[in-house]
Structure 1
Amino acid sequence: MESINEALERLLNERTKFVEEKVKPLSEIAATRSFTPEEETTSDECKTRLNAMDSTISLLRDEISMQSKMPQTTSRAQDNGISEQLRSLLVERNSTKQTIDLKTDLARAFKRALTTDPSQTGAGSELVPTTFAQSLITPLRQMSGLLQAGAQPLSTSTGEEILWPRVKSYGEAEKNIKPGATIGGTDMSFDQVSSKTSKYGQIVMTPRELIEDSAIDIEGFVGQAIGQNVGLGIDSDALDALLPGDGKDNAITLTVTGGAITPTFDEIIDLESSVIAPYRVGAAFLVSPGAVKALRKIKDTTGRYLWQSSLQAGWPAVLDGYPVIEDPFLPNPGAGQATILFGSFNRVIMRVVNSLALERSDQFAFDKDSIAWRGILRAGVILTDSNALAAFVGKTA
């Protein structure tokens, strides 16, 4: 039976061959003239095939990455890192608190997520058999895209409000100064942007038998899942803070209101142009899942699709020359909904306070002989320059 690594290698080879034989000839034609109806149909079929192959490649890579983190033996002596720390905390009971550093892994915590069934039926008894495969089936979840678009993670040691100085105006030099005349010009001006944090957390109940008897690294999985779930909660609130709206300190103020709930090609150009030129360098689109379908159908004045599927697996598609990144926490198209953001996301700071604190309690569910595992993290978002991002808003009713 073909292994996952073999399947990935085969699919990558098939994709490379497909691009060479089918996609490149179409790209050469598109560079010189418009497609014929037959070529247009072939182009659509190629895009559909590439998207399907890329989706499968991404799933296989995620599975390989996940399996590489699973222990290959049930021997407790080979546990290390977070797994060893958590096992010590949960089973040997020689500590009451453990801190896991997320500074270097914060982006991954926002971009990937695993899940476990919190209901009583799937609370863990299925994971404690007499004979058990040493891997855990984890459903894939939609990934957030704010950090992938370029937002910068920042760790601070305390969580109090921070006022960030910001240049509001560079002033202006006087022109055509006459000999002996007083030099004029206008002064620079400054203001401040405030950074506040909120608390995020999750409690997971684990039967003691699950920790003691499981053939897989349950404690490592629980710690990772809590960290990722907390990260996704932070990303959701960060996007809510950035979306246009009155009374929000970090809300985007540059907006383009469409003639419908989805944009036209002209409105995409208006959205790009609303961001000043320096912030269009390295810019990206951040798009809701519901808006992706509409964007893929947008054509230029010659009838060619603006959406370009990536020719390299793992890279985002491109719209009018800019990468497109999907984020599930943006609203779907609707009246008054900001479904597309554009600009330089490196002016967005995702602030976290220290690291994710993981703690355990034997007393919380003493009557059930279960261990309560709690993760807590404080975080917030800052838009350091309101000129860096713009939003497309669907036409209001």
Structure 2
Amino acid sequence: MSEVAKALRERRANVWEQAKALADKAADENRNFSGEEESTWTALNSELDALDKRIKSVLEGEQRAKDAEDAMSKLRGEPRGKSTGPGNPGAEELRKFLTGDGPRFFDVRPQGPVNFRALSKATGGAGGNTVPTSFYDRLVAHLIETSSILDAGATILNTSSGEALEIPKTTAHSSAAIVAEAGTIGSSDPAFGMVTLGAYKYGNLIKVSRELVTDTGVDLEGYLAMQTGRALGNAFGAHAITGDGSAKPRGIITDATAGATGPTGVTGGFGSQSTVGQGADLLIDLFHSVISPYRKSAACQWMMADATAGTIRKIKTSEGQYIWQPSVVVGQPDTILGKPVLTDPNVPAIGLGNESVIFGDFSQYFVRMAGGIRFERSEDFAFDSDMVTFRALMRADAALVDLTGAVKTFTGGAS
């Protein structure tokens, strides 16, 4: 990590301490923030968010510099680590497709079994510097960055085609009981339903100047991977949170069950920590509404919108400790009750009846990816502006497959 990244990290820790001191003072005096303090608190939280983005940008910039150095090493004939060159299967065919020397279409498929939960975001610390990174992996990394569901550890099913895929979903577990000697053992079977995962088509168009396509010094593969991954990730990510299953995937909120409900008269929020059953108590209730086996899962996490995160940052437990704990490791998320927190703009905001916080085992949310991602190339679509147009198509569907309480939500109470 560079000195710049370290300095930004130290600045973030300092800003957090300032915000903490401000909240501590108001709590010790048993009062709400004054107008000036509220403005300061908002400014500090905004700076925290800005620092998080800056740290991420710096780390990504350092990785790009490393990639550029690898490319120069390649030109000089020196040994290199990460590469998208000829040693990477399919790289030559991809470049021919991009420049128009190959076919008009190119299917980007995973090489061998792929588990999205094991994919990193192509960072050096995660091993990105030691192995070649394929175009598929780079595209998927950007897909994960923009879809919190994929980042949270959803189970990914890769299929070669898009026919309907029947997945059993658990609606109730079997049970046991003490049986007297020679007594009859009662039967108790788990209850299963069935969810059908189809293949809804997502697509986007990218126009690229001919100069950019023909310039061999430009990382066109990286540019297309970034733009396509973000576009497809944003489109699918919205449905993965709140999709109703009608001509779109079923969002995780659609099938999750209520784990905690906000108090009456607080506009769907968390109320006052000075009142029993409100504030941090509600998040603790939500935490324990998910049974232990699911809470122990590596994919058990919190998810909420940024504004909700800003509210929860102020909440303390009855012992006076902040329930939100900042991460001390670069690149790792902050935690609530020891579990990572992810933010997603598609999660509903705090409000009456809104499911504004999601908590549980996200591996029980199944995402079906059908046939990889198909790229098609056209020189005719934007002929008058000498632009080459690339069309990317992805087919996917998703649903929660364990309805016994693997994923729970916080719902804003009545007014």
Global fold match (TM > 0.5): yes
* Contact 1:162–1:194 (8 Å) recurs in 2: yes
1:262 aligns with 2:279: no
Match of 1:281 in 2: 296
Q: Which amino acid aligns with 1:227?
A: G
Once the two structures are TM-superposed, the CA of residue 379 in structure 1 deviates from its matched residue by 0.6
Once the two structures are TM-superposed, the CA of residue 297 in structure 1 deviates from its matched residue by 0.5
Once the two structures are TM-superposed, the CA of residue 369 in structure 1 deviates from its matched residue by 2.8
Provide, for residues 220-258 of structure 1, a one-character-per-residue CA deviation record: whole Å limited to 9, x for no partner. Answer: 312431133212321221111389xxx968623411331
User: Aligned to 2:326, which of 309, 318, 321?
Assistant: 309
User: Aligned to 1:64, which of 31, 42, 62?
Assistant: 62
Q: What aligned pairs does 1:8-27 form with structure 2 within 5 A after superposition?
A: 8=5
Match of 2:135 in 1: none
Q: Which amino acid aligns with 2:269?
A: T
Match of 1:133 in 2: none
Match of 1:348 in 2: 365
Q: What aligned pairs does 1:1-397 form with structure 2 within 5 A after superposition?
A: 5-8=2-5, 56-70=54-68, 71-72=71-72, 80=86, 81=88, 84-101=92-109, 104=114, 143-179=146-182, 181-213=183-215, 215-241=217-243, 251-255=254-258, 256-259=260-263, 260=266, 261-263=268-270, 264-282=279-297, 283-386=300-403, 387-397=405-415
Change in Cα spacing, 1:396 to 1:182, as seen in structure 2 (3 Å) is closer
Deviates more, 1:364-373 or 1:349-358: 364-373
Change in Cα spacing, 1:74 to 1:182, as seen in structure 2 (3 Å) is closer
What is the SS of the residue equivalent to 1:363? strand
Once the two structures are TM-superposed, the CA of residue 52 in structure 1 deviates from its matched residue by 7.3
Q: Report the Cα distance in structure 2 between the residues aligned to 1:194 and 1:204, rounded to whole angstroms.
A: 32
Once the two structures are TM-superposed, the CA of residue 216 in structure 1 deviates from its matched residue by 2.2
Q: Report the Cα distance in structure 2 between the residues aligned to 1:211 and 1:237, rounded to whole angstroms.
A: 33
Q: Report the Cα distance in structure 2 between the residues aligned to 1:108 and 1:65, rounded to whole angstroms.
A: 19
Give the % identical residues: 28
What is the SS of the residue equivalent to 2:243? helix
What is the SS of the residue equivalent to 2:322? coil
* Contact 1:203–1:374 (8 Å) recurs in 2: yes
Once the two structures are TM-superposed, the CA of residue 6 in structure 1 deviates from its matched residue by 4.6
Q: Report the Cα distance in structure 1 between the residues aligned to 2:173 and 2:167, rounded to whole angstroms.
A: 17
Match of 2:276 in 1: none
Q: Report the Cα distance in structure 2 between the residues aligned to 1:287 and 1:355, rounded to whole angstroms.
A: 29
Provide, for residues 82-105 of structure 1, a one-character-per-residue CA deviation record: whole Å limited to 9, x for no partner. Answer: 764443123242222112235759
Q: Which amino acid aligns with 1:333?
A: I
CA RMSD, Structure 1 to Structure 2 (Å): 4.0
Change in Cα spacing, 1:6 to 1:357, as seen in structure 2 (3 Å) is same
Match of 1:115 in 2: none
Once the two structures are TM-superposed, the CA of residue 266 in structure 1 deviates from its matched residue by 1.9
Once the two structures are TM-superposed, the CA of residue 107 in structure 1 deviates from its matched residue by 6.6
Q: Which amino acid aligns with 1:150?
A: G
Q: Report the Cα distance in structure 2 between the residues aligned to 1:160 and 1:56, rounded to whole angstroms.
A: 43
Q: Which runs of 5+ in 1 are unaligned?
A: 27-34, 113-140
Deviates more, 1:217-226 or 1:312-321: 217-226
Q: Which amino acid aligns with 1:158?
A: S
Q: Report the Cα distance in structure 1 between the residues aligned to 2:368 and 2:322, rounded to whole angstroms.
A: 38
Once the two structures are TM-superposed, the CA of residue 171 in structure 1 deviates from its matched residue by 3.5
* Contact 1:167–1:191 (8 Å) recurs in 2: yes
Once the two structures are TM-superposed, the CA of residue 373 in structure 1 deviates from its matched residue by 0.4
Once the two structures are TM-superposed, the CA of residue 362 in structure 1 deviates from its matched residue by 1.9
Provide, for residues 268-311 of structure 1, a one-character-per-residue CA deviation record: whole Å limited to 9, x for no partner. Answer: 12212322222222321111111011110111113221111112
Change in Cα spacing, 1:241 to 1:102, as seen in structure 2 (3 Å) is farther
Once the two structures are TM-superposed, the CA of residue 361 in structure 1 deviates from its matched residue by 1.2
Q: Report the Cα distance in structure 1 between the residues aligned to 2:66 and 2:340, rounded to whole angstroms.
A: 30
Q: Report the Cα distance in structure 2 between the residues aligned to 1:108 and 1:372, rounded to whole angstroms.
A: 32
Match of 1:137 in 2: none
What is the SS of the residue equivalent to 1:147? helix
* Contact 1:74–1:215 (8 Å) recurs in 2: no
Q: Report the Cα distance in structure 1 between the residues aligned to 2:120 and 2:411, rounded to whole angstroms.
A: 25
Deviates more, 1:88-97 or 1:371-380: 88-97
Once the two structures are TM-superposed, the CA of residue 396 in structure 1 deviates from its matched residue by 4.6
If the length of structure 1 is used for normalisation, what is the TM-score? 0.72
Change in Cα spacing, 1:53 to 1:213, as seen in structure 2 (3 Å) is closer
Q: Report the Cα distance in structure 1 between the residues aligned to 2:115 and 2:103, rounded to whole angstroms.
A: 24
What is the SS of the residue equivalent to 1:362? strand
How many residues are treated as equivalent by the alignment?
342
What is the SS of the residue equivalent to 1:146? helix
What is the SS of the residue equivalent to 1:165? strand
Deviates more, 1:303-312 or 1:213-222: 213-222
What is the SS of the residue equivalent to 1:304? coil
Once the two structures are TM-superposed, the CA of residue 388 in structure 1 deviates from its matched residue by 0.5
Q: Which amino acid aligns with 1:235?
A: G
Change in Cα spacing, 1:111 to 1:254, as seen in structure 2 (3 Å) is farther
Q: Report the Cα distance in structure 1 between the residues aligned to 2:57 and 2:225, rounded to whole angstroms.
A: 22
